[in-house]
Structure 1
Amino acid sequence: MKAVLQERFGPPGTLRLREIDPPRPATGQVLVRVHAAALNPYDWHMMRGDPYAARLLGGTGLTRPKSRVAGIDAAGVVESAGPGVEGLPPGTPVLGFCPGAFAEYACATAELVTPKPERLTFRQAAAVPMAGVTALRGIRTVGRVRAGQRVLVNGAGGGVGTFAVQIAAALDAEVTGVCSAGNTELVRSLGAAHVIDYTREDFTTARARYDVILDNVGTHPPGRLRRALTPAGVLVANGGGSPGRVFGAIGSMLRVAALDTVTRHRLRPIVPATPAGPAHEDLLAVTALIETGRVTPVVGRTHPLADTAEAMRHVEAGHSRGKTVITVR
């Protein structure tokens, strides 16, 4: 099969399209014939081995990437199943966390995939797992958003942001999206009652106050973000934009947790969605919202499998509109 290999840490140019043997599903796994895969910041952190603290904690691998084949988010069709798998017979269209997703076939733990909603294309479905689950955790689990609350999503035009706006709107919150000028109409169409172009207005200096702020960008320090919160407001930090190759987002999460102990506001980091964490119930919750039509994945750019390195450069630059997707079939 064709697969994109990441055999050493480095920039996108280290990725190579090669022919390798397809994997075989172990006990509790399914083999997925991949139709599409999505890129995440997680993927370029795995590719570069950043931050270094993640290597020591076992998150990325110590001297080389943990997975020889890149990618994690995929949508496709179950080809076969290993022992102990029920409810996912061959031929079932699925989406989920599939380590080694940038390939024609990938194995996944059966609990980390779910049947694909019929209303989605494979490209849309591939965009769901990591970004959708992270957004759900930020808005519902950590932010505890309720109907009538004022919610601000910073980075509303990106992968997590486009899901977060829709999930908050589905909870009947009054949503404000912060994004670039080119994404204002998109964010409004997703359910945002108000849209702020960050190139023209700094929401941290405006008069509006919010019950929950989900920050996917990380360009404002927590102290400035707190200015835009109500007295009982919650800042949910997604760790984006964290500088430094040593601690990266881990350092930002620790700073937010430390500041939470000395301020009246609640400052909470998100535990990002990864295949290592419990994600099954969250994945089901996101797909349930998709089934009802209240959430629809936003796909910005698509690239063929052979152009995965170029797609990675685009995502790493940090200005993706919705999700960037790799088409495999």
Structure 2
Amino acid sequence: MAFFITGVSGFIGFHLATALLARGEEVIGIDIHTSSPFLSKERLNLLKQHRGFMYQAIDVCDQSALKALFAQYAHIHSIIHLAAQAGVRRSREEPALFARSNFEGLVSLLEASLTLKQINHIVYASSSAVYGRTKEFPFKETNPLGEPSSFYAVTKHSNELTAAYYKRAYNLPLTALRFFTVYGAWGRPDMAYFKFAKAISDKKPITLWEGQNLSRDFTFISDVVAGVLSLLDRKTRSFVPDAVNIGSGKPESVLKLIKELEKNLNMKADIEICPRPLEDLEQTWASIELIKKLTGWSPKTSINEGIAAFSKWFRVYKKLENQKN
């Protein structure tokens, strides 16, 4: 039995594959390194050091290549679909790219998965962005999804509608993973916490959006991995949830995040307050009662502990980046 991961050298894919390999599982992964190529290739090099890991450079939109791969590895029993274009503001600039990667990519994967005989569970990356401009806090899976605040949110909402069709039409065991602001070592350079750390270390100003309640449900990567594995390892398949929040269940001020970075990097941030862009929500807050009930999972890492761990890795990353340049 094997696990198949798309976007395997991305941030979450890398950590999830590493955890599966560490417990002796076979992992088959695909990626084409469209996001942060330097980090993506460094992550992939680390994964290749593990026995039980197999990689192919396949675009998830290439349905023929996926079908050929599934014919070769017919013992795949769990699929984790993480390959996608991310970034709320970038989605306004390149909507066609996001539509292809996020929408066409999922359809391609699901069509190919119909050729497999023994799929236990297919989980795929959704986002807290699907809750849109809702005023209901915390965000619960049963809440109506709000008006989308970005084209990125549109693609993720479309993914969930697509999955609902395939679940009903083909009885596929599909679950959307609604991730809430995942952070940690080997993270995405386009995310705020990473940008803040880089700006602070480079002694450049950082941009903080205005808003009295500017906060995020920051979720540390090891907690995210544990949450995903708890779903994949469930013994009963009598109920496969349509969507599950994976968050900390506790929103934290973005200003607190900056203060933790200052403390751990031992440097002061130069903060510039600017108007919040249309695409950015003022607050996110996950209800995590459903996943707790289903699996017993709960997050373990505080923002203080998570930023301390990230900052330790970030100092090593800066040295690697300087050597590259």
TM-score (ref. length: structure 2): 0.36
Say which structure is richer in strand.
1
Say which structure is richer in helix.
2
TM-score (ref. length: structure 1): 0.36
